[in-house]
Structures are given as C-alpha cells and as structure tokens.
Structure 1
Amino acid sequence: MTKVTYKLLIKTSKLYAEGATDSNVSVQLVGENKSHTDWHTLDKFWRDDFEQGRTDEFTINDKKVGRVLFVRFHLKHGSKEKDLWACDNVIIHHDNYVDEFPLYDWVVDNSVIVRGEGLIPQKITSEELLKTIKEERENNLRRFAWIEKAKPGDPGWMMPRFPPAKDLLNVPHQLKMADARFEHMSEMRNVSKFNALVEKLQGYLFPIKKLDDYKNLFSGFRISGDLLPFIEKWEEDEEQGRQMLNGANPFAMSRCTRLPEYCKITNTHVERLLNDGKTLKDEIKEGRIYIADYSYMTKGLPRNKQYNGDPLYCADVTALFYSSGDGKFRPIAIQLEPDNADSIFTPKDERYDWMLAKMYFRCADTIVHQWIYHFLWGHALPETGAVAMFRNLSRTHPIYKLVRPHLQNIVVINQFARDILIFDNSTSNYTRSINGAALARHVFKDFDFDNLVLPNLLKKKGLDDYNLLQNYHYRDDATALWSTIEKYLSKVIKIYYKADEDVRDDEQIQSWINDFATEGLAWPDGNTKGCPTSLKNIDELVQLCTTLVFSSSVQHSATHNAIFDLYKFIPNAPGGMRLPIHKRGEATLQRVLDSLPDITMATILLGSSFVVTELPEDEVYLGEFPMNLFTEEEPKKVLKEFADDLKVVGDKMKERNKKLEYPYEYLLPEKVPTGTTA
C-alpha cells in the first residue's frame, strides 16, 4: 500500500485564553475517493500543543486517500470537565496539494472540517459530504436554538427573536466574545463608574447653576473633557438642523407632503421664518418642509421614574424643519403635544421658551434614536437574521462565508445589552423618560422590513433629492457605502450562482430566509413585517445580504459613532426631562435647569454613552477579513477589490470634509466596524 506524508498546520485561535486545550487531539483525513486514514494522535514530545494563537505543525504517514475532502477531529478529555478547543483552520500539504480547511469554531468532542471551497448544496455530488453537511445542520438547529415563544412581560415579548442564553457566558461558543473585547468593555464600565462617582461628589460641592456647568461633567480619569467645536453653537437653530441631518439620528425625519391632522402648526406660526413671499403651503408643495414626528411612537407609552421615584417626562412631539435652498436646515416649529396648538413653539418665541421646546424635542429624539434606529434597526433585527443564518447555512456554503464576518459579534453584544440595559429596572430606565423595550415593542409591531433597504428608505421618506436637501452628508456617504457593499456581495454571489434557478433550488438559502421571516420576525403575531419567506432570484439574494451587512455595519455606525460626541453635553441631547412640558412664557433659566437631568441622571447617561462608543484597539473594520473563510482565488480577489473600493470612497469623503466647517467622519470606512460590535 502506497504511503503518503501529510503535513498539517493547525492554528489555535488567539482570541480566547480558554481556547487552548490540554485534551488529547486525534485526527482522521477523509479523501475524495471515499477512503480515509487511520486516527492519529497529534502530540509533539516535550511541547505544549494547541496553545492560544499558536500554529502547530504535525506530520503523519498513512495511505493515499486522494485529495483530502474533510478533516475529522476527536478530543479525548483528561477529566470529567470538557476542555474545549478553539480552532481557526487547518492547512494540509500532501502530494501536489495545499488545501485550507477553515473552521473558526470550538471543538467540543468531535468536529468535521470540510475543505474550504464554497459549495451550494444542490451541486454537491459526494454522498459522504452531503451526509456530513446534514449532520452539521441538524446540530446547528440545536446549538443556535431560538428562545421559547415569549408571553407578556418576558424580555423577548413582541421583539425580534434571539437565542435563549441566560447571560453573556451562555451564548453559543462559536459566538463567544473575544477576551480582549470583554476586558475592554469591563474596563470601560469601570472607568465610567469611577468618573460617575467623582462627578457625584463634585456635584454636592459645586451644583449646576448654569448651562455651561454641564460642560465640566464626566471628564477626568481616561476620559477627555474636550467638547467638539460645534457644541459651542448647540443653541443655534442651524446647528440643531445640522445635527438632525448629520448627527446620531440622521434618517428619523421625512419630507412633509401634508401635515398630520393632530399637527396644528399653521402658516401664522412660521411666517417670517420662510423665504420671502413663501407660505407654509408653498414650501410643503416645493418639498422644502421636513417633519420629525415622534408622537405616534411615544403617545400612550408609560413614562419612567427617576432613581428617587419622581416621574420623568417626554413630549409626544412633532417638529418641522426647513430646507431653505441655501444649504441651511433648521427647525421652524415644534409642537409638544398632539392636537394642542398652545404647545407650539417657534424661533419667534422668547429665548428660554424656544430653548426648552427644543430640549423636549431632543429628549424624544435621543430616546427614539437609541431604542428604534440604534437598538431595533442596528442590533435586534440583524441579530435575528444572523441567528437564522447560523441555524440554516453550513460552513461550506458561500453565503455563510460571505456574511458571517459581518454578523459574528452581534448575538453576544446584544446579550450584553439584554443583561445590563434592557430589563425594566436597568439604570437606563431610571435616566431616560421612556422604557426602551416598551418603545421598541410598540414600533416593531408595525415595522416594515423594506425600511432596512437604504435606497428604498430614502425614497420613501423623500430624502433622496440632492437639490432639495443639501449638505446631507449621511445620505451621501451611506449611499456610496451601500453601493460599494452591494457591488462586493454581488460579485461574490455571482461566482457561485449562475442562474436564478440556482437560488430557487438552494434548500439552505430557502430555509434561512423562511426561518428568518416566520420564526424570527413573525413569531409573536404571525406578521413577517414584509420580509420575504422565499427568494426567487439572484437579485433578491444580493439585496438580502446587502441589507443585513449594511444594517450591521454602516447603518449601525451611523447611529452609534456620534453618540458620545453629541450626548456629552446634556443640554444638547437630554435623555430624560424632570418636569412636564411648559406653557408659553413659563420658561426661565431656572425652569430649564430644573427640567434637565440632575448630576446623578447626567452621569449615568454620559457613562452609558461612553461605554457603548469606546471601541477596542483591535476592532475589525469594513474591508478587513481576519477570518479566512474563502479559500479560492476568485472570491479572495473580490474581497481585495472591496477593500480598494472602500479606500476610494473614503478618500472622496475626506476631500469633501476639507471644505466643511464640521467634517462628517462617522461613516469613514476606517471608522465603520465590519458588523455590530457595540
């Protein structure tokens, strides 16, 4: 019998200290000709094998099995407690072959790693491989189980579905948080707590007596006290408008085609605030009036209470903004209560009346931003797609290889949020006026999946006209990145799918989208929220992948990266208000100070903003692929082209920014993590 020498290079993950193993590791190679080697124990004399971040080399001599199709591992544990092993990949040299076997997963007892080529299932002819994939997928349904159907009062009630982990330590091992990220987040929480304690002590000695006193909060140990230059203009209407377009919540407004019946703003309120000779009706018709209406989201929802039991307040607010045609965008009227004309304020009112109205608007804006556009759109919905993907796609599937890097961390970071932020008694709900989970449930009920498709969202909201809405840098940059991501995903997908029937016949893809829609989104009420239950062609597959990748990377960054910059100065974006809405003539500086968060509330708000926005040094950004999931040259070339395209896009953003008083940098590719990570 002809013997062959097989050289194995086996890499243990660098991400986890516990990923090293002292268990006995055995290997068996299975070839394309259906034969296999004997089992071989991998052990080098006087060497501690399979240590964190190490690549170990082993040589085995065994019969010729043809080109190796997959690798089987078996762990024999030295104690009753299983010593798991985090294996990144295996490279095998034999005859004239050099083959890669990517895993990036944990080996518990037994594991099978298939050679790295992307394979759509209906084109696989090997019965042994089909059997292996079937077993893997059956195991995945158990590993990545859905949470049991919830009932009122449960954390998952009327929300996108997620795994049933009790806490951060119980998420599926494949999705475990890397040690460095866990240490970083723990460290940032400790920094936040320390600074909050210092601020409380200082607050007793130096209470807030004027608005500028808020500028001194939450700066000290490892936190810069510097505020960005635009904060000096926080009270100016043009700056408020700029932040609406290019701040943390840049797609919350819509072009106003008609005022809601409950909005009582009239031309009398805004006369002298529009271009000469123009009426409100004229400018609505011209497409220059934009509306941010949060009243339908917040009306009827219970308000939170402060840590001392006192109530918190949030206006059911509707605001009109004006794009005057000269590149300026500013608020022109704010209604704090539906159907109440007496609650309408404009720039023509006294300074503190108008200032306080804008603060009530910004309070609602920050809450809607954090819980709808950041949490629901950027965290919860992509997580459901990620779980469905891990449940239904095998590691050999090209779409798994394509989208996994962008969805890898979302489950564990959401579990972190479920552990400390979302429950009813969290500190978040003592400092923000509305219970976040209640708001997310209320809005998710009528959510439209098509809103995650950026071009459709911008068109639907009337935000796509570059002439009517100028200096809208979020739109420009997000659109450029959507196109770049779509191009990259489309190129890779079309390597493997040559015709629409390839998509229709792909059982794994069809089970993924069906599981996502029916079990992930429709589980509370049978409503799939517009998410398709099947995919009919290549274009639909490209759009689904683009939607998930864009939502978890670019759209999440658009709502995440600006948080601390804008929220650090509390009067600019208060998360909770301590007094009910005012009447015209009631506002004074003291009334403003009494309405804004006190020091305890402010330090908690600032601390939570700091923790979620500080990213670790080893963050993976868009265009970086530390997991080598693709092994063929053609998709690897596309990944390289994607990185090159992102550089071109980023360079254009930087050139544009040179001309701006306040550069828009939140969507620079080097500042956009490859997926939701915070």
Structure 2
Amino acid sequence: MFKYQLQVTTGQQSFGGTYDYVFLTLIGKEGESERTELKTCFGFRAGTTEDFTVKTTSSLGELLLIRVEKDPFLVFPEDEWYCSTIVVRTEGGEVLVFPCYRWICRGDKVELRGGRALKVSEEDHDLLTEHRQKELTFRKSLYQWDVLVEGLPHRGRFDEVSQLPTEVHLSAAKANELSHERFLVAMELKLKGIIGSKESWESIDDMANIYWTNRTPMSGISLQIKLLIFISSMLQRNVVIWCPPVNSTLNRSFWFMYNEILKLPFGCTQWNKLKPIAIQLQQKPSEQNPIFLPSDEETDWLLAKMFLRNTEFMVHESTHHLLFTHLLAEVFIIATFRNLPEIHPVHKLLISHFQDTMVLNVGGRKSLLEPGGALALCSLGFDGLMELMRNHFGWGWMDGWMDGWINFNFFFFFFFNRFVRAVVEHYYPTDSEVCADTELQDWINDIFTHGFLGNKASGIPDRFSTPEEVTRFITMAIFTTTAQHAAVNSGQFDYSFFLPNAPPLMRKPPPTTKGQSNMKMILETLPNRGDTAKSVMMLWVLSQRYSTFVPLGHYPERFSEPAVKKMIEQFQAELSDISEAISARNSGLDRPYTYLDPAHIENSIAT
C-alpha cells in the first residue's frame, strides 16, 4: 500500500468555500489512483487548509497530474469552490506543489500541473505532451473569436456573462458587491425622481447636488474648480488663426483639436497656470464658426467649454478607456487561453493581470453599448463612437504607446520593463529559444491577426525573433491592463461626476453665432435628468475600489522556480518604494494625484 499526503488550500475569497463533494485523482508515469473523495466535517472553508491521504495499491511513479472534480451535495444550488493550491508529499518525502487559483464548478474536471513553468519543447513525457495539446484544443472550443464591429479588435464569442467559462467568473463576493453598489447609487436617484426622467435640469447647481452621499474628496474639489479644461501640447499647424486676441498670445499657448469628431454624425495640468484662451468648435474659419473667448458673454464661453468637454469625454471613453484598455485586454486574454497552456511561463506571468476582465467586458457591452446604454446615448451615438475608435486605431500603435509612456513616465515604466525582461530571459536566454516556441509564436500571431487585424503599420509583430521583442510586448500588455487602465479609469468620477465638466451628450448642435445663448439654452443642451443619472451611476461604479482589490505586482504562487520568485519579490519591493515616494510627494499637495500610486493600481482591469 502506498500513501500520498495531501494539503488542500481554499482561497480566502469570501464565499470561496464549498459544501459540495470534492474528488481527486493522482496521475503518475506508472498509473493513476482511484477517484478519491476528500471528506471533511464542515466542507472546504475559505482561507483554510485541509489534510488528506490518498492510498494506492501500487506506486504511481513520478507524479505528473492531479485531476479535481466537484459533484453537488444534496439539492443545494451551485456552490463554486476557489481552490488555491494542492500540495502532495510522496512516500519518498518529495513535496510537489500544484497551483490552481481558480473557481471550480459542479461537473468541472480540472487537471493541474506542477508549479514549474515549461515550454512545449521541454516536455519529457508523452502523457504531458498529450495533456498540453488536449488543454489547448478544449480551450479553443471555449474561447472563440468574434467581431464586435468591422475595423476594431475582435472579441470573445460571448454574448452573456452566463456563457463564460468558470475560470474567468467573478467571485460571488465581487458579484454581490457590484450588485449592491449599483443598488445603492440608484436608490437615492430613484427616490429623487431622477432615474428615467426626461426633464431638463432647472439649474447648474441642481446637477452638482445630484448626490448627497456619494462623493469623494476630489469630486468636491472639481465642483470648486467648475469647468475643467485639459489642454494637450500638440500644436496643430493646419489651423488658420484669424482672431487678433488669440494671435497675440500664440507664443505661450498650447493647442488641442478633435477634428476627427467633425467627420462623424452627431446623434490637467496646473489649473492656476494654464488657462484656455480660445475655443473654435469647427475647423474652417467663417462667420458661422466664431472663436469663443473668455471675454465673450459668460454663457457663450460656458457653452463653448461644455462642447469642448463633451468632445473630450467621448474621445476619452471610447478610445483611451474602452478601446486601448478593455478591448485590447480582451484580445490578450482570448489569445492566451487559446494558445498558451497553464504550464507555459507567459501564461503564468499574465494570468494574474486578467482577473475579472472578461465578465466586465461582456457585461459592459450590454449595459453600456446597447441602445439606451450609458455610452450609446452620447452625442455621437453607437455608430459614431465605433467610427471614432476606428479612426484612432489605424496608427502605429506599438511605437506610439511605448514612446508615449517612456517619455511621460520613464522612471515608472523602467521597473515594469526590467522585471519582465528578467522573467523572459530566464525562460528564453537566446533568440533560438524564442523562435522554437511554437505556442508563443501562435500566441503573438493570434494577437496580430485578431487584435490588430493583420495591420503591420500597428507595430505589432506577427512573430517573435528575440527575447527583447517578447519583453517589449509583454511589458506593454501588463502595463495596459494595470497602470494604463488606472490612469484613464480611476479618476473618472472625481472629475466627471459634475456633468457639465464632462457631458456625454449635448442635445442641441454647437452654436454658430455669439450672443444668442442663455442659461435656459445651456440647460436644454446638457443631458436631461435621466441621462445624467445613467452617466453618473456608471462613473461611480467604475471608479470604486472593492474589497476584492488586488494590488499591482501580486502574483500567487504559480511559479515554483526560486529565481523567478526572487524576481517577483524584487519587483514588489521596487513598487513599494515608488508608492512611498509618491505618498511623500502627495502629502504636501492640496490636490494629490494618487491614480498611478502602485498601492492604488489594481493588478487587472477589474472595474
């Protein structure tokens, strides 16, 4: 009789335990154990480790796999279980760790590999090679490509959250918390009669008081600032300036233009130092396209600023937020599950940056983009937003992304790149190692084909040739799903909750003459009460930090190699140092910028 001692750890997630029956089978080079029930007195409780013994009549030889299954207990409803790790001690004293870190549903058959990351060329047993191939074949049947809109990155073929595989489900705690938060933010507005109302606001101050309870420190400051104008430093040389008051200040001014908006059908710096001096709402100078100035009538200047911010809001939400974080993250996720088995080093490195994203993307497509959704109701409408995103998607994205972030925040970016390079070079010390990894090549080709639509001008490679190319792309992928998303998402409620600062919808066309506006016209142009509620509720839910928050740089024990564990520890220490430096700098500021503090950056697109 041979005995294998097991330690099964259930994750600390709320509702992560289960009362269901759990069965386990050990699979070795010389055979497999019987399907053994792991019996407990009170079920598998969150945050606990249970000890078990599996007996076999003969030695299994070198242990290769563990198969985990879960069957229902009595007639209780579905009781998902979050298994963290299973540790096996053989009779010879060998200790093997099998990472899981995923939800397991009834009927699932989850087969776990050991913690050491392996490329396909390193497999040394036919059973493991076959298992690897079967895993990818099964995953490709689950994660299939589909088209959201022609000319944009492809998406997963999931129309409902219920269609998603168990491994990408939200935890019950996160789902409950999101549902509860939506209920709370809606309740006050419902009691006030705002939700569903088609009436215009009676005053700007009423819009500021839409919420009495849901406020943040920065949202209060944004109310004091009133209309914020963010000015980029891109000088547009094709603009004809024909207004003398503007000409006189050109040597000290910054410009930004959204000329692509005008092709579509309509359906922060230091505030005390940079001031808007002129706004032109169309591209060609004419009597019907005045340049609005701060010296104009107060309502004229106010209305021009609102139209400007309406444009900025649509560009921000559709391109910088939706397209360049959520949609690209979904491409990375689908390609990873289709092409890289769990044992692959790049899968192990990236999987922690994908938590909750698929559920949010699939749910968001219905709640935000379908008719009546918070984004579909914007001035451009759904078709206009999609066209705007297509216009932004055609440029050399990879080079632009890298150059932009390195120039903007080189110090921060440097640590991401150094960590990824260390991990990549550990597994791919030479060019030949990169070229020989067929799974890695299939992965980047899938991303190139379905994410960037085979467009070589995007700068995305269709295959990798060097460790440096692998490092560069993976750095970009991790940064996109963490810091980049934090930068464009976390402050949305703070700066846009007062809707005139960022109106998603303008119900009347831009003014073509001066002196015709008044406050009544402005209120009739801004979103009505019901549409305001949709936008503000969306911004509140997206900007919250939930109890399931996982900080940047957190990698569960998916790697067993000591060298890689040390790299992760070094990366975490560097992020901690950056966080302390940012906190010290922010301590003396009236308006601290916290969104890129590593302690405030979530490890994935989870909101």
Regarding TM over 0.5, the answer is yes
How many correspondences in the alignment? 598
Match of 2:519 among 563, 584, 589: 589
* 1:44-123 correspondence to structure 2 within 5 Å: 44=39, 47-50=41-44, 54-62=48-56, 63-73=58-68, 86-94=82-90, 95-105=92-102, 106=104, 108-123=107-122
C-alpha distance 404-560 of structure 1, shift in aligned 2 (>3 A): same
User: Is 1:192 aligned to residue 185 of structure 2?
Assistant: yes
Give the whole-Å Cα distance in 2 for the aligned partners of 1:170 and 1:104: 21
In structure 2, the CA distance between the partners of 1:121 and 1:580, relative to structure 1 (3 Å rule), is: same
Within the candidate set 217, 234, 254, 1:255 is matched to: 234
Q: Following superposition of structure 1 onto structure 2, how do residues 439-454 of structure 1 map, counting pairs within 5 Å?
A: 439-444=385-390, 447-448=393-394, 450-451=396-397
Q: Which residue of 1 aligns with 2:573?
A: 644
> Structure 2: how far apart are the matches of 1:158 and 1:14?
42
Deviations 1:82-126 (A, max 9, x none): 987553321112223221111234364533211110112222232
Q: CA deviation at 1:513?
A: 0.6
Q: Distance in 2 between matches of 1:486 and 1:616?
A: 28
Q: In 2, distance between residues paired with 1:136 and 1:495?
A: 25
For 1:240, the equivalent position in structure 2 comes to 229
Q: Which amino acid in the other structure matches residue 354 of structure 2?
A: L
Question: 2:502 matched to 1:507?
Answer: no
Contact kept, 8 Å, 2:196 with 2:531, in 1: the verdict is no
SS of 2:305's equivalent in the other structure is helix
**One-letter code aligned to 1:145:** Q
Closer, same or farther: CA 40–395 of 1 in aligned 2, 3 Å: same
CA distance in 2 between counterparts of 1:225 and 1:207 reads 28
Alpha-carbon deviation of 1:449? 7.1
User: Secondary structure at 1:412's aligned position in 2?
Assistant: helix
2:544 corresponding residue in structure 1: 614
Distance 1:441 1:174 in 2: 33
Does the aligned pair in 2 maintain the 1:371–1:436 contact within 8 Å? no
Aligned residue among 233, 244, 260 for 1:268: 244
The SS at the match of 1:99 is strand
Q: 1:551 corresponds to which residue?
A: 480
1:387 aligns with 2:342: no
**3-state DSSP of counterpart to 1:360:** helix
SS in 1 for 2:124: coil
Whichever residue aligns with residue 213 of structure 1, its letter is D
Kindly state the Cα deviation for residue 564 of structure 1 after the two structures are TM-superposed: 0.5
Pick the aligned partner of 1:372 from 319, 333, 347.
Answer: 319
- Per the alignment, residue 6 of structure 2 pairs with 8
Work out which of the residue numbers 239, 254, 266 in structure 2 matches 1:303: 266
CA 91–421 in structure 1, closer or farther in 2 if over 3 Å, else same:
same
In structure 2, the gaps of 5 or more residues are none
Match of 1:653, SS state, is: helix
* Aligned partner of residue 665 in structure 1, secondary structure: coil
C-alpha distance in structure 1 between counterparts of 2:150 and 2:18, whole Å: 38
CA distances 1:448-482 after superposition (whole Å, capped 9, x unpaired): 575356763428xxx94xxxxxxxxxx34xx4332
Deviations, residues 144-194 of structure 1 (Å, cap 9, x unaligned): 1223xx4xxxx5444321222231121121111111111111112112221
Counterpart selection for 1:670 from 577, 599, 604: 599
Q: 1:424 Cα deviation (Å)?
A: 2.7
Q: Which residue identity is paired with 1:352? A: T
Identify the residue that residue 292 of structure 1 maps to in structure 2: 256
For 2:340, give the aligned amino acid: L
Q: CA deviation at 1:350?
A: 3.1
Classify the secondary structure of the residue corresponding to 1:228.
Answer: helix
Find the counterpart in structure 2 of residue 339 from structure 1.
Answer: 284
Q: How many Å separate the matches in 2 of 1:330 and 1:16?
A: 49
Once residues 371 and 536 of structure 2 are traced to their aligned partners in structure 1, the CA distance between those partners, rounded to angstroms, is 19
AA aligned to 2:319 is: I
Q: Secondary structure at the match of 2:112?
A: strand
Change (3 A) 1:51 1:145: farther
Residues 583-605 of structure 1: CA distance to partner in whole angstroms, max 9, x if unpaired? Answer: 22223333333322232222222
1:561 lines up with 2:561 in the alignment: no
> For residues 661 and 530 of structure 1, what CA distance do their matches in structure 2 show?
41
Deviations 1:462-517 (A, max 9, x none): x94xxxxxxxxxx34xx433222112211111221111211111111100011111
Candidates 422, 444, 459, aligned match of 2:369: 422
Q: In the aligned structure 2, how far is the partner of 1:87 from the partner of 1:528?
A: 43
TM-score by length of 1: 0.80
| Structure 1 pair 504–410 and aligned structure 2 pair: CA distance change class (3 A) | same
**Aligned counterpart in structure 2 of residue 353 of structure 1, from 292, 300, 313:** 300
SS across alignment from 2:133: helix
AA at the equivalent of 2:246: V
Report how far residue 230 of structure 1 moved. 4.3
Cα deviation per residue 1:548-605 (whole Å; 9 max; x = unaligned)? Answer: 1111111111111111111111222222122221222223333333322232222222
Contact 2:31 2:61 in 1 (8 A): no
Structure 1 residues 384-422: Cα deviation after superposition (integer angstroms, max 9, x where no partner): 111101111011111111011012322111011012111
SS in structure 1 of the partner of residue 155 of structure 2: coil
State the alpha-carbon separation in 2 of the partners of residues 675 and 412 from structure 1: 12
Residue 223 (structure 2) aligned to one of 211, 214, 231: 231
Q: Secondary structure at the match of 2:9?
A: strand
Q: Which amino acid aligns with 2:183?
A: N
Q: Deviations over 1:335-387 (max 9, x none)?
A: 11121443322334333222211110001111111111111111011111111
Question: In angstroms, what is the RMSD of aligned CA positions?
Answer: 3.2
Contact map agreement 1:73 1:112 (CA 8 A) in 2: yes
Q: Secondary structure at the match of 2:535?
A: helix
Q: Give the Å deviation of 1:16.
A: 7.5
- For the Cα contact (< 8 Å) 1:17–1:179, is it kept in 2? yes
**Closer, same or farther in 2 for the Cα pair 1:199/1:602, shift >3 Å?**
farther
| AA of the residue aligned to 2:602 | P
Q: Report the Cα distance in structure 2 between the residues aligned to 1:631 and 1:156, rounded to whole angstroms.
A: 42
* SS in structure 1 at match of 2:278: strand
Q: Whole-Å Cα distance in 2 between the matches of residues 119 and 160 of structure 1?
A: 30
Query: 1:541 aligns to what?
Result: 470
Please show how residues 467-506 of structure 1 align to structure 2 within 5 Å: 475-476=408-409, 479-506=410-437
Q: Does 1:212 align with 2:205?
A: yes
Cα distance between partner residues in 1 of 2:83 and 2:337: 18
